[in-house]
Amino acid sequence: MQRGRVTRYFLIGPTLFVVFAVSLYPMIFAFITSFRDWRLARSLSPEEFVGFENYTRAFLDENFLNSFWVTMRYVVLSVSLSIILGLLFAVILQRRSVLTSIAKVVLVLPFAVAPALRGLTWRFMLNPQYGAYDKLIDTLLPFMADIQWLSEPFWALLMMASTEVWGWSSLVSLMFLGALGTINPEVTEAAALDGANEWQTFWRVTIPMIAPIILLVTLLRIIFSLKVFDQVVTLTGGGPGNSTETLNYFVYKAGFRFYDFGYASALGYILVAILFIAAFFYVRMLLGGEQDA
C-alpha cells in the first residue's frame, strides 16, 4: 500500500509542479506585489512595502471607476441579451423537425469562434466603407445610416456586447433547450385544460420550472462577461476615449503599458474578488441544485 501511495504521488508530481509554476506561484507573487511600490521605469524589482495604498488608490482613481462602470454596463447588456435571445431560440427549436435538428448543430459554431477573432471579424464587418453589417443595417434601417458604430461611446459598447451575445446566445439556447426537455408535457397540457393560452403557460408554468437553470446560466454568463478582454483589444481598443475600457483591460494597461506592476497587481486582485463573489453564488446554486436532485 505504501508503495502504491508513493507511485501515485510520483505520477501526479509533474502536474502539481506545472500548476504551481504557471498558476499558484504567479498568484502569490502578484498578491505580495500588490502591497508594494513597483514601477518598472524606476526599478527592475519591487521596492518598499506600501500596505493598502495601491488598493485605496484604485477607488480614488477616476479611470478605474470608469472601467468598473463600463464593465457593469457591458455585463448587463451582454448577459441580458444572451439570456433573452437564448430563451427565444430554445422555444423555437423545441419543436422537432429536420430544420431544427440542423439549426442545433449550426448553433454550436459561433461559440467555437475565439473571442479575439469575433472582435476582428465584427470590426471588419462594421467598417463604414466595406463592412457587410454596416451595409446591411444601412439598407434595412436607412435612418441609422450615419451612425459610426465604433466611434460613438454607446454604439461601441453595444457592438462589443453584441459580439459576446453572438457567441454565447447559441450555447445558452442549447442549455435552455435541455431544461425545456425536462418539463413533463402533462403539466403544460393541464395548464391548457385550465384555460391558459400559450403565453400564460410559458410565463406562469414554463419560466418558473426552469428558473433555477436560468439563474445558473445567468451567473455563468456574468462570470465570463466580467473577464472580457479579447474583444476590447481587437474591436475597440478601449475607445472611443475610454468608453469601452473594461476592468480587465484597465489592469492590462496599468501593468503592460504604464509598467506600474504594484498598482496592476492590486487591480487584478480587486477583479479577482469580484469574480470570486459571482463564482461563489454560481457554485452555491450548482451544489444546491444537485442536493435538490
The answer to whether residue 18 is domain-embedded is no
C-alpha cell at 164: 459576446
Give the CATH number of the domain where residue 284 resides: 1.10.3720.10
The answer to whether residue 43 is domain-embedded is no
The answer to whether residue 48 is domain-embedded is no
The answer to whether residue 244 is domain-embedded is yes
Identify the pLDDT of residue 4.
Answer: 64
Taking residues 121-150, what's their average pLDDT?
87
C-alpha cell at 160: 462589443
Q: Does 68 have pLDDT greater than 70? A: yes
pLDDT in tens, 74-99: 999 999 999 999 999 888 888 776 66
The answer to whether residue 62 is domain-embedded is yes
Identify the pLDDT of residue 1.
Answer: 52
Mean pLDDT of the chain: 86
The answer to whether residue 252 is domain-embedded is yes
Lookup result for grid cell 439563474: 215
The set of long-range contacts for 122-125, using a CB threshold of 8 Å and a minimum separation of 24, is: 122/159, 122/162, 122/163, 122/166, 122/231, 122/235, 123/150, 123/234, 123/235
Measured distance CA(134)–CA(142) in Å, rounded: 11
The answer to whether residue 5 is domain-embedded is no
Identify the pLDDT of residue 243.
Answer: 93
Alpha helices in 94-150 (DSSP H): 98-112, 115-125, 132-140
Q: Does 46 have pLDDT greater than 90? A: no
Domain count of the fold of the chain: 1
Taking residues 114-132, what's their average pLDDT?
88
Residue 159 lies in domain = 58-292
Identify the pLDDT of residue 97.
Answer: 66
The answer to whether residue 40 is domain-embedded is no
CA distances from 137 to 37, 66, 130, 148, 234 (A): 50, 30, 12, 12, 22
